[in-house]
Amino acid sequence: MTIVPAPQAPEYLQKLFDPGFLIFIRHGQTDWNAESRMQGQKDIPLNANGESQATNNGALLKGYLEKEGIDPDTLDFVSSPLGRTRATMERVRAEMGLVPDTYRLEDQLKEITFGKWEGFTLEELAVNYPFLVEQRRAD
């Protein structure tokens, strides 16, 4: 769990949205994360370790909010629509004692796509497509 103070937004952005602070929780581990595979927007589910990580982050967030006197019902919970992020959000919220599936989905939070590289490790790409890896490194 990472807590990041919100940067001071330009005046025109403050009129649109000024969250005050942002709490970012990355999705739990997937098998592809463990294997160092580029997953991008492929919808790879959490593995057992990732499920445990998500539950633990829920406990940490609950403790932090209690310590700070912040009511979680006043917060806007937002997730990427990918399955691994939704599973993470639902485990976090359940551990906090909140209704697991009451949060917003935001398509712009999806990970970037790696296109045809999704599913490969960098080592596999270096063996099979060394010229593409060199192009990427040069970019």
Q: Which residue ranges form the domains of the chain, and what is each CATH number?
A: 2-114 (3.40.50.1240)
| Catalytic annotation, pick one of 51, 111, 118, 124 | 111
DSSP state of 111: P
Closest CA to 38 of 136, 104, 131, 106: 136
What's the pLDDT tens digit per position in 16-28?
A: 455 677 899 999 9
| Cα gap 131→101, rounded to integer Å | 44
Give 70: exposed, middle or buried? Use CB within 10 Å, 0-12, 13-18, 19+: middle
111 is a catalytic site residue: yes
Q: What angle do CA 86, 2, 5 make, to 5 degrees?
A: 115
What's the pLDDT tens digit per position in 64-88?
A: 999 999 999 999 999 999 999 999 9
| Catalytic annotation, pick one of 27, 35, 95, 124 | 27
Radius of gyration of the chain (CA): 18
27 is a catalytic site residue: yes
pTM of this structure? 0.82
Q: Output the pLDDT for position 13.
A: 46
